[in-house]
Amino acid sequence: MVSFTSLLITVTAGAGAFAAPPSNATEGLGLLRARAGTPSATGTSNGFYYSWWTDGAADATYTNGAAGQYSIQWSGNAGNLVGGKGWNPGNNNRVISYTGTYTPNGNSYLAIYGWTRSPLIEYYVVESYGSYNPSSAASAKGTVTCNGASYTILQTTRVNQPSIDGTQTFEQYWSVRNPKKNPGGTISGTVDVSCHFQAWAAVGMNLGTQHNYQIVATEGYQSSGSSTISVSEGGSSGGGSPTSSTPPAQSSTPSTGGTAAHWGQCGGQGWSGPTVCEAGYTCTTLNAYYSQCL
């Protein structure tokens, strides 16, 4: 068992898998020397907010670096952990860039990760992942193209699970990049959160009115790996322009016969594709810009 008697940080009790700890403003986790079993903590480091949570089952170390950099190493193929750097509060319009290395072995995500209140919502924009695709366990709502990449939109309900407000039942929103950025080495990208948030709203997935934190997180579950990521605000992926003034273009591969498939777009301002859904589905107007086969 690792002793933590010499740690110079404030420890917090936090949320579990797909969650994170309540805010606890401490300064200087970067002073923490690398050791097995870094306990859960939140605070600020070099102008960035950080959040680190572990259930204690993994041999996991979190270290803050300069500016927006952080590093996580974990092993043991046990337990759950999530941590990263970003901002608190988050907002609806931030363009987030990240660069570094991400080498998971097993179940892990690299994602923009955050929470809102009123209502309580946990959200992910997954850029890369290890052996498990999170879209396989949630309800698909559609697709969206942001910064030149395609993402699957998903939603699931977490019942009596840890959250920033203790044990709660809440919705979980996802955008999962398809295809994912390849793990196992150098990785970088840019995410315009407004593109995803508008796409979610277009399919009825509304965030809360009060943002809590918004970070670039590494998560591991019963796995091992390492991640060293530098986070910054602004930038461009070079793969297309973010959409911020109107809901982003969404699409689903139409079925044959000129009809739109389930979850496919079937109308909206400027839409020139099929306006009839395949059998069993109805073209439903979600807003002036987007109708979908539901």
Residues 27, 127, 171, 219: which is the catalytic one? 219
Residue 24 CB burial class (10 angstroms; 0-12, 13-18, ≥19): middle
Q: Would you say 62 and 156 are in contact if contact means Cβ atoms under 8 Å apart?
A: no
**pLDDT, position 272:** 66
Q: Would you say 55 and 80 are in contact if contact means Cβ atoms under 8 Å apart?
A: yes
Written as one letter, the residue type at 187 is I
**pLDDT, position 283:** 87
CA distance 259 to 8: 62
If asked whether residues 178 and 273 sit together in one domain, one would say no
Q: Give how many domains the chain has, as a whole number.
A: 2
**pLDDT, position 262:** 66
CB atoms within 10 A of CB 19: 23
Question: Which stretches of the chain score pLDDT less than 70?
Answer: 1-36, 236-257, 262-265, 268-272, 286-290, 292
b (16+ CB within 10 A) / e for 229-253? bbbbeebebeeeebbeeebbbbebe
If asked whether residues 262 and 215 sit together in one domain, one would say no
Whether 244 is in a domain gets the answer no
Q: Would you say 148 and 97 are in contact if contact means Cβ atoms under 8 Å apart?
A: no
β-partners of residue 118 are none
Whether 157 is in a domain gets the answer yes
Whether 104 is in a domain gets the answer yes
The last residue of a domain, from among 206, 233, 260: 233
**pLDDT, position 287:** 57
CA distance 134 to 281: 26
**pLDDT, position 282:** 86
If asked whether residues 112 and 82 sit together in one domain, one would say yes
Whether 122 is in a domain gets the answer yes
- CATH number reported for the structural domain that contains residue 132 in this entry: 2.60.120.180
38: left (phi over 0), alpha (psi -120 to 50) or beta: beta
Domain enclosing residue 283, as ranges: 251-294
**pLDDT, position 248:** 38
Q: Is residue 55 helix, strand or coil?
A: coil
122 carries an active-site annotation:
yes
Residues 27, 122, 233, 278: which is the catalytic one? 122
Q: Is residue 255 helix, strand or coil?
A: strand
Whether 293 is in a domain gets the answer yes
If asked whether residues 169 and 51 sit together in one domain, one would say yes
219 carries an active-site annotation:
yes
